Amino acid sequence: MTSSRPRVIAVAMQKGGVGKTTSTINLGYHLAEEGLAVLVIDADQQAHSTSGLGVELGDDDASLYEVLHRERQMRVPLREAIHSTAFGLDLVPADLALKELETGGLGPGGQMRLARQLDEVTDYDVVLIDCPPALGSMTEAALAAADDVLAVLEAGPDEIRALIRLGEAVMDVQDGLNPDLEIRFVLLANYEGGTRVAQSVRDGLVRDWGAWDAGGAYLGEIPHTIRVREAKDRAVPVAVHAPTSSAAVAYKDAAKRVAERVRA
Ligand SMILES: Nc1ncnc2c1ncn2[C@@H]1O[C@H](COP(=O)(O)OP(=O)(O)OP(=O)(O)O)[C@@H](O)[C@H]1O
Ligand SMILES: [Mg+2]
């Protein structure tokens, strides 16, 4: 499957440590397994998608920082910053320099720079952007460039409020830069189903966002399992580390669902 502009999905949640990066890597892996051409863009200065996909930057390698550089003569086209990985998908890596862009360093027109760069990209079906845990410049640039938001949540007590806040940020972007943007996927990651709070967050999400099979946005849960942490330590997708683990199976199912909508 090839298209003109790829379907661009921002994997976002301003709350830290909820499973954005894990979900980006593992959904990306399974989307590629589904036969889609997948590019992951690591938009977080922590560069955890980059390390998690086993990519190490050499001194001369461009990262997203150079792609979005405020000075035109320093800028590198997105396609020149693409690295292949061992897992059937490609990556535009992040590095710590992105911190400068996060704090106002994108300069004039910066908010749309990623979107413009993605207009030039034609050889991918899906682009997943791993956003940092903040509603700052990088997340805004990702939202401006995206077709859809995939919101990642953990089943904590203040998650629903965080999701509402993300929805407001999406509305702000709709008003100006990107009228068609919507949260079209909601994923509950790192799910410990045995607790009452987890179950009530899950039930609330199904009620508010709609069950997937009924045409809603709720993609499902990814169970908490030590296999995810082990896979991270090995810098491989969980399906490579432990293919029959509950999280690997759940990410595969979720990716099938995302692929359905991308192909539709
Ligand atoms: N299903 C899971 N089972 C067990 N551990 C998990 C699971 N999902 C994520 N984790 C762990 O939780 C931690 C946070 O996950 P991750 O880095 O994906 O979150 P994040 O939202 O990207 O964080 P940040 O906001 O810092 O970017 C990681 O150590 C990860 O290995
Ligand atoms: Mg992350």
Mean pLDDT by 10 residues, the chain (264 residues): 81 97 98 98 97 94 95 93 98 94 83 93 96 94 97 90 94 92 97 90 94 96 98 98 98 97 90
Buried b (16+ CB within 10 A) or exposed e, 215-237: ebbbbbbbbbbebbeebbeebbb
Please give the number of the atom of ligand 1 that sits closest to the Cα of 16.
25
Report pLDDT for 2.
Answer: 52
Report pLDDT for 3.
Answer: 54
Instruction: Tell me how far apart the alpha carbons of residues 200 and 263 are, in angstroms, rounded to a whole number.
Output: 32
Q: Does the CB atom of residue 248 touch ligand 1 within 6 A?
A: no
Ligand nearest to the CA of 19: 1
- Atom 7 of ligand 1, residue of closest alpha carbon: 190
Q: Does the CB atom of residue 222 touch ligand 1 within 6 A?
A: yes
Q: Does the CB atom of residue 263 touch ligand 1 within 6 A?
A: no
Instruction: Tell me how far apart the alpha carbons of residues 250 and 256 are, in angstroms, rounded to a whole number.
Output: 10
Q: How far is the CA of 48 from the centre of ligand 1 (A)?
A: 10
